[in-house]
Amino acid sequence: MYNHNTSIKKISVVVPIYNEESNIAELCSRLHQVLDSLPYNFEIILVNDGSMDNSAKMISDMCLIFSELKGIDLAGNYGQTIALRAGFELAKGDVIIAMDGDLQHDPADIIRFMEKIEAGYDLVGGAKESRPDSWLKSKLSALAHKLISKLAQVEMSYFGATFKAYRSYLLKHSNLLGDSHRFLGAIVARKGIKYTEIPITIHPRLYGTSNYKMNKVWKVLLDLIFLKFFVSYLKKPFRLFGSIGAGMFFFGLIGLIGFAIGSFFFQTNVKEDFIVEYFSCAILIIMGMLFISIGILAEVGVYNYFGQKRMSPYSIRSIISQTKHAKETNS
């Protein structure tokens, strides 16, 4: 018997869409079937991220069929992270589930996600059980996930899947930017919350082409540097830049003092014998002061970022819903 926690009233499912016109009808039908079987109110939010095909029209058509469906038509292509953020900010559910729109994620897994949420977990991630990938992609992916787990100090085995369930308070003021959706599970899991994973199967695509390219592997590895900064130093950047700067300044200063003592007391000919080392120490001092200055500016920037109202990084062309269609028909 399903253990329904009455504190959860509504589920929001957020799906970023980019050139998925052939998948949208089946996706909506399967999502509605699964969500309607659960003891919650629900909404489905499809975010059209500047698709070049007829995805926007398909979302509009589906809104006529499913009253629980809403569409966000972004005015341009902003990427998956911003599309998810737009959906999160519109979502009204107590639990928000993010998933891809290509039918590689099985909507039936939502039932198992909610069972874990009802068991008291705040975050439930989808861990890849199997995926139609090449050997090289699988090995690179496994390496990336191990590095993410180590850097973020989060004991999760898989971070790549968008398919996750979050209690909505975890996503308040998430301020997703860049490609940070890849690490969203790691970022929110560090807040001392209760999290777990369930195995999911990534199904082969039935329609359309994958937006995944091998050059994204390199981008993910670069983003690991951002993840370490975000996790450890986002709210205290001076500790990072100040520490590096102070170290450079100290070693450079010690070197110059050593050369000064040698020149005055031991007749060391710095100009003839140690000119490269002398200028290296001077450069270390200058670089140290530069890093300290960057740390101070970063600290001021963080203060302003968290202390002032921030502008939205995306623009919405329109919000699509059945109610909107009804008003347009009556007008």
Q: Out of 24-38, 44-58, 62-76, 126-140, which region has the weakest mean confidence (pLDDT)?
A: 126-140
Give percent above pLDDT 90 in the chain: 32
Task: Tell me the pLDDT of the chain averaged across its residues.
Answer: 79
Q: What is the band of 1 on the pLDDT scale with cuts at 50, 70, 90?
A: very low
Look at residue 58 in the predicted model and tell me its pLDDT: 94
Given a cut of 90, whether residue 255 has pLDDT beyond it is no
Given a cut of 90, whether residue 93 has pLDDT beyond it is yes
State the first-to-last Cα distance of the chain, in angstroms, to the nearest integer: 47
The backbone torsions φ and ψ at residue 88, rounded to the nearest 5 degrees and listed phi first, read -60, -40
State which amino acid sits at residue 125: G
Nearest to 46 by CA among 7, 75, 82, 83: 83
Please report, for residues 47, 78, 118, 124, 157, the alpha-carbon distance to residue 10 in angstroms, rounded to integers and kept in the order given.
19, 28, 13, 17, 29
Give the contacts of 315 (CB within 8 A, at least 6 positions apart): 74, 75, 76
* pLDDT, mean of residues 95-121: 92
Query: How many angstroms separate the CA atoms of 70 and 46, rounded?
Result: 6
Given a cut of 90, whether residue 46 has pLDDT beyond it is yes
* pLDDT, mean of residues 88-116: 92
Cβ atoms of 84 and 76 within 8 Å: the answer is no
Query: How many angstroms separate the CA atoms of 314 and 86, rounded?
Result: 8
Query: How many angstroms separate the CA atoms of 258 and 159, rounded?
Result: 50
Q: Is the torsion defined by CA of 151, 155, 160, 165 positive or negative?
A: negative
Query: Residue 292 carries which DSSP code?
Result: H
Look at residue 274 in the predicted model and tell me its pLDDT: 78
Q: Is the torsion defined by CA of 58, 61, 62, 67 positive or negative?
A: positive
In this structure, which long-range contacts are made by residues 318-324, counting pairs with CB atoms below 8 Å and at least 24 apart in sequence? 318/73, 319/70, 319/71, 319/72, 319/73, 319/90, 320/59, 320/60, 320/63, 320/70, 320/71, 320/72, 320/73, 321/63, 321/69, 321/70, 321/71, 322/63, 322/64, 322/66, 322/67, 322/69, 324/63
Given a cut of 80, whether residue 47 has pLDDT beyond it is yes
Look at residue 171 in the predicted model and tell me its pLDDT: 84
Q: At what angle do helices 215-233 and 135-152 cross, to 10 degrees?
A: 10
Q: Which residue would you say has higher pLDDT here, 178 or 274?
A: 274
